[in-house]
């Protein structure tokens, strides 16, 4: 099979991927999406300052399983030395790629010089990429937005500086930091980045499903697309299947499988961590509100499974 594109020497066999999402794109969910067709795994971001000092709570976020590969770790930070140290520590876990987050719009992060704030200091971002390149033996990539706000849409300048600094791929979310998640993503701007780039460019923002992703790839010329919000509770998006056509028993069966994998990976804590996924899986079913309410209260794996099995036994067609 021919690779769709390469991240430096790493062949990528596909063009549709799960976007990094804090609290969602953890190892069990990445693994499921990868098995359903997502062509690589992009980890949720981790703060460089915690990894640099080997904080065990955050180091545990770097755990992954082999079948997730190729695997991208994403770091955020505002300081070259800390980032470099974090990348050095992260390499002990042997990711395939290290990514710099330059898109997070949340105040705690962007207000602290990290995430999307780096769009305002593109030279610093370039130094970070150069430094990471010197520090780690794997490709270094970045995920950006179009700029800080409408009056500073500097995506072409940012992408040029990142490339001059040695970035191996750029993912572009077609919104500014000020937009956060409002309005619609500007794919013509994403296409401009691609038209001016020597490295692969992935487009991000509002991709509805697999075929919409492929349409956008054809229309805007990007190498691939990341799907974020529309992939929550919906790994079928990577199979090119419309979730509304998936039989409810199959949705709940996959949900149970995901739940059991969370327990295996996290221990009993997986029960609580799974709640947000459960709420997504059951969305749209007849009786979903009731089931969701029950699942959000269950604190033991046995209760969880009993509730789901009872629901499956009584399930009627979805009312999507
Ligand atoms: C809950 C949530 C968490 C996110 N966490 C991250 C993250 O850790 N790293 C990152 O680069 N982007 C993160 N994003 C942004 C997404 O990766 C993506 O760029 C954005 O949601 C737009 O794509 P979509 O319209 O397909 O959701 C997050 C988005 C959401 C909704």
> For 108-153, how does the pLDDT look when each residue is reduced to its tens digit (9 = 90+)?
999 999 999 999 999 999 999 999 999 999 999 999 999 999 999 9
Residues 239-261: pLDDT tens digits? 999 998 998 889 989 999 999 99
Q: Which helix (H) or strand (E) holds 10?
A: strand 10-12
> Nearest C-alpha to atom 22 of ligand 1 is from which residue?
205
CATH for 5-239 (3.90.550.10, 2.60.40.10, 3.20.20.70, 3.40.1710.10): 3.20.20.70
> Nearest C-alpha to atom 15 of ligand 1 is from which residue?
21
Would the pLDDT of 317 be above 70?
no
The residue whose CB lies within 8 Å of the most ligand 1 atoms, and thus the one to mutate among 229, 276, 277, is 229
Provide residues with CB under 6 Å of ligand 1.
19-22, 44-45, 74, 101, 103, 143, 173, 204-207, 227-230
Q: Is 104 a catalytic residue?
A: yes
Is cis: bond before 32, omega within 30 of 0?
no
> Nearest C-alpha to atom 4 of ligand 1 is from which residue?
21
Would the pLDDT of 286 be above 80?
no
Contact 86, 76 (CB under 8 A): no
Tell me the β-bridge partners of 5: 12
**Positions of CATH 1.10.1200 in the chain:** 247-314
247-314 has which fold? Answer: 1.10.1200
Q: Which helix (H) or strand (E) holds 12?
A: strand 10-12
Question: Given the structure tokens 């981790």, which residue do they identify?
Answer: 46
Q: Is the pTM of this model over 0.85?
A: yes
Where are any strands of DSSP class E within the chain? Answer: 5-7, 10-12, 16-18, 41-47, 71-76, 97-102, 140-144, 170-173, 201-204, 224-227
Cα separation, 56 vs 79, in Å, equals 21
**Positions of CATH 3.20.20.70 in the chain:** 5-239
């Amino acid at each position: 099979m021919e690779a769709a594109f390469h991240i430096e020497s790493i062949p990528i066999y596909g063009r549709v991927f799960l976007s990094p999402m804090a609290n969602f794109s953890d190892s069990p969910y990445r693994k499921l999406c990868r098995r359903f067709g997502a062509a690589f795994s992009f980890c949720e971001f981790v703060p460089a300052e915690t990894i640099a000092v080997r904080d065990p709570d955050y180091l545990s976020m770097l755990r992954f399983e082999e079948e997730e590969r190729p695997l991208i770790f994403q770091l955020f930070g505002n300081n070259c030395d800390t980032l470099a140290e974090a990348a050095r520590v992260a390499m002990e876990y042997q990711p395939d790629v290290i990514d710099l987050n330059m898109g997070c719009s949340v105040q705690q992060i962007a207000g602290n010089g990290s995430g999307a704030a780096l769009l305002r200091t593109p030279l610093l971002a370039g130094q970070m990429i150069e430094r990471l390149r010197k520090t780690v033996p794997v490709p270094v990539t970045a995920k950006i937005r179009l700029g800080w706000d409408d009056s500073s849409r500097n995506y072409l300048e940012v992408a040029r500086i990142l490339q001059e600094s040695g970035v191996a791929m750029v993912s572009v979310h077609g919104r500014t930091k000020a937009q956060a998640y409002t309005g619609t993503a500007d794919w013509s701007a994403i296409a401009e980045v691609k038209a001016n780039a020597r490295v692969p460019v992935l487009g991000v923002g509002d991709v509805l499903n697999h075929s919409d992703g492929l349409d956008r790839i054809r229309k805007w010329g990007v190498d691939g697309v990341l799907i974020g919000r529309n992939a929550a509770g919906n790994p079928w998006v990577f199979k090119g299947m419309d979730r509304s056509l998936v039989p409810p028993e199959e949705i709940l069966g996959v949900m149970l499988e995901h739940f059991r994998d969370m327990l295996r990976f996290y221990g009993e804590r997986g029960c609580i961590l799974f709640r947000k996924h459960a709420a997504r899986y059951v969305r749209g079913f007849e009786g979903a509100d009731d089931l969701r309410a029950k699942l959000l209260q269950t604190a033991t794996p046995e209760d969880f499974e009993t509730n789901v099995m009872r629901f499956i036994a009584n399930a009627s067609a979805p009312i999507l």
